[in-house]
Structure 1
Amino acid sequence: MQNKAIPIAVAFVILFIQTAFAASSLFLLKQKKLAIVIDDMGYDVALARRFKSLNMPLAFAFLPDAPFSGELSRDFSKNGFVVMIHMPSQPLDYPKDNPGKHAIYLWTSKADTLKLLNWAYKRIPNAMGLNNHMGSAILRDKPHMDYIMEFLKEHGLFFIDSATVKDSIGCAEAKKFGVMCARRRVFIDNKKDVLYIKGQLRRALAMLKKRNDVVAIGHCNEKTYEALFQMRKQLKPYLVSVVFVLK
């Protein structure tokens, strides 16, 4: 199968030279780094374009079955943003929370898991990485995590562990396969409230006092956009593309 992904090594070079973030290039050399991933992309075109207009080095994770994911992911990639597959997978409380018919479940065979991943990749061919949508059950399950890592290794993609369960084995399995990985430390918008989200962003910044890097995850909603817009000056000295926190 032809590898349509931008290899991670090439992506690093591209991200260094992109003029869109030239004004912020110096902070890439700094020790303290905050990366933010915006999940659930692909449903709201107008709101997606507002996030894009922030001109911040955010990463955007697109749901493969969302109606506008193909169109938007191509556009975001062409404009220098990191694009990811937001892969639906089984949560612990399924069926109360249902990730949908194209999700990876505990009973999904290896062949079907790889088929689903390939389908998602065809929907979002500019993806440089993948993270889980829901997925707390899958993140605990070694066989399925190994299937996913095998796929990511083959296509040169990285993995962001959304850590929807504390004992996720995501990055541990990624390391075994030589897949670059980073783990989410903060969800910024569990409450759709601007003041709460700003507080979570400050929490992420505060974590940098004890850590060299922090990955935060938010979602494509109006309140998260507004909080990022209001805090763009405070975030600027630390905010980097997610590829710069991969290990």
Structure 2
Amino acid sequence: MRGPSLPVSRFDRIACHSGEALSLPLDKQIERPLGQDRPAREVAPRAAGMLPGPGRVGGVLLAGAVLAAGGVIALQPAPWRQPEPEVASTPADQPAPQPKELATNTEPPERTAPAAPSIIRVPDEDSSQNVIVIRDPSALGQDLRVAHLPDRALLEQSAHGPLPIRGADGRRPVDVYARPWSGARGARVAIVIGGLALSQTGTQAAIDKLPPEVTLAFSPQGNSIGRWMQAARRQGHELLMQLPLEPFDYPNINPGRSTLTTQATAGQNIDNLHFVLARTTNYVGVMNYMGARFTADRDSFAPVMRELGARGLLYLDDGTSARSLANDLATASRVPYAQGDTPIDQERERGKILEKLDELERTARARGFALGTGSAFDVTIDAVTSWVAEAKRRGIEIVPVSALANDPEKE
């Protein structure tokens, strides 16, 4: 309900934005909506079709001045900005050189089979070509963590058991089962200790005490050769099989069962060879056990050497017979060949053994390498173990026998 009317003569003065006075009755002022007395906003110049006012023109000019000053500063040399690096010009008909290590392709590469590991070897100092040689990964030898496991691709079954063979891909046991070495050209000494598996305690001592660089040779007359082979390979040793060959004054001096003789046929000798080779696995080749008469007989020895070459095995001659034809026959049959310089324990006395080892060191320093052979006697094992530790400190590298072999297939 509306209240009583006030006299019309009572007016209030209300100021408008133009400064004029507007008189309204008080009751009309009460009914007027809020905000009606606010001044009307100016119409934007663009909307009204009018030019901007003086204040806005000044703001535009100020903004332009700021932008112009920034452009001037950007174009100034030091100290306002660092100079751009100089870039050598490239002829128009030649492409600009690209950084060697900058990857421009962000797409993931196509997936391929992983490559086999390789060794990159710096060439010898006397090499006439400044090149980098990438060696065959098979020359690295078997990974020592699985060295006791035979490579099934390098075995064939026979009446005597598994025999070593070349793989279908050309790999040879002499490469796969070889112990890796540095490949350096310093003074190198290889030591081969034979007679393993004949004595259980002696074999255990040889495997446990001798440094892993020392090559071990197993007698086919021994026992538990497979078990000893695995223990030796886990320790990192390179292995050989000893091959009994006919000596002079045979059979009074008898190397043992399955001896290869000059009186046997080639087939009989090959069969005896297979018996020896099947006694275990994971070895790089064979070495003679006696055999002064057999190794001097070309007709008897040549078929055996050809069989070793066909199977990818190494032959080590202990060097005790000056009449041995092993070197010539190995070359003809493409067999990796090594020859011993001296037996180290013909006299089983520690001092004498150490003298022989020192002789090997002198030979290695003069010629670059030397190879000694011995047997698994306690005194030999102890002397070799202590000498190897001292020789390493003198800069001698102890290498496996395969490192010193002359390999016709790698010449």
Of 13, 28, 35, the match for 2:190 = 35
The residue identity in structure 2 corresponding to 1:51 is: A
Are residue 214 (structure 1) and residue 376 (structure 2) matched?
A: no
Counterpart-to-counterpart distance in 1, 2:214 and 2:334:
24
Counterpart-to-counterpart distance in 1, 2:356 and 2:313:
28
Greater mean deviation of Cα atoms: 198-207 or 142-151? 142-151
SS of the aligned residue for 1:200 comes to helix
> Could you tell me the TM-score, scaled by structure 2's length?
0.54
Question: Would you say the 8 A contact 2:313–2:335 is kept in 1?
Answer: yes
Question: Would you say the 8 A contact 2:173–2:284 is kept in 1?
Answer: yes
Measured after TM superposition, the shift of residue 85 of structure 1 is 1.1
Superposition map of 1:91-106 within 5 A = 91-106=247-262
Counterpart-to-counterpart distance in 2, 1:143 and 1:79:
39
- Cα distance change, pair 9–66 in 1 and its aligned pair in 2 (3 A): closer
Counterpart-to-counterpart distance in 2, 1:221 and 1:232:
16
Superposition map of 1:33-182 within 5 A = 33-53=188-208, 54-182=210-338
Task: Indicate the RMSD between aligned Cα atoms, in angstroms.
Answer: 1.8
Counterpart-to-counterpart distance in 1, 2:307 and 2:236:
24
Question: Would you say the 8 A contact 1:39–1:220 is kept in 2?
Answer: yes
Counterpart-to-counterpart distance in 1, 2:300 and 2:228:
29
2:400 paired residue number: 241
2:164 paired residue number: 4
Q: Identity across aligned pairs (percent)? A: 21
- Cα distance change, pair 208–55 in 1 and its aligned pair in 2 (3 A): closer
Of 198, 201, 206, the match for 2:354 = 198
Measured after TM superposition, the shift of residue 167 of structure 1 is 1.9
Structure with the greater alpha carbon radius of gyration: 2
2:57 paired residue number: none
The residue identity in structure 2 corresponding to 1:39 is: G
Counterpart-to-counterpart distance in 1, 2:218 and 2:325:
23
Greater mean deviation of Cα atoms: 57-66 or 90-99? 90-99
Unaligned 5+ segments in structure 2 are 1-154, 157-162, 166-171, 407-411
Counterpart-to-counterpart distance in 1, 2:258 and 2:241:
13
Which consecutive segments of 4 or more residues in structure 1 shift more than 6 A?
Answer: none
The residue identity in structure 2 corresponding to 1:164 is: T
The residue identity in structure 2 corresponding to 1:233 is: A
Question: Would you say the 8 A contact 1:121–1:127 is kept in 2?
Answer: no
1:22 paired residue number: none
SS of the aligned residue for 1:75 comes to helix
SS of the aligned residue for 1:130 comes to strand
- Cα distance change, pair 151–77 in 1 and its aligned pair in 2 (3 A): farther
SS of the aligned residue for 2:373 comes to strand
The residue identity in structure 1 corresponding to 2:295 is: L
Measured after TM superposition, the shift of residue 246 of structure 1 is 0.6
Counterpart-to-counterpart distance in 2, 1:88 and 1:70:
19
Measured after TM superposition, the shift of residue 45 of structure 1 is 2.3
Counterpart-to-counterpart distance in 1, 2:280 and 2:173:
15
Question: Would you say the 8 A contact 2:262–2:294 is kept in 1?
Answer: yes
Q: Deviations along 1:36-76, whole A, 9 cap, x unmatched?
A: 11111111222222222233311111111212323212332
Counterpart-to-counterpart distance in 2, 1:120 and 1:214:
27
The residue identity in structure 2 corresponding to 1:212 is: G
SS of the aligned residue for 2:207 comes to helix
- Cα distance change, pair 56–126 in 1 and its aligned pair in 2 (3 A): closer
Question: Would you say the 8 A contact 2:221–2:256 is kept in 1?
Answer: no
> Could you tell me the TM-score, scaled by structure 1's length?
0.88
Measured after TM superposition, the shift of residue 187 of structure 1 is 0.3
Measured after TM superposition, the shift of residue 83 of structure 1 is 1.2
Question: Aligned pairs, how many?
Answer: 236
The residue identity in structure 2 corresponding to 1:191 is: E
Give the structure with the larger helix fraction.
1
Structure of greater relative contact order (alpha carbons < 8 Å, 6+ residues apart)? 1
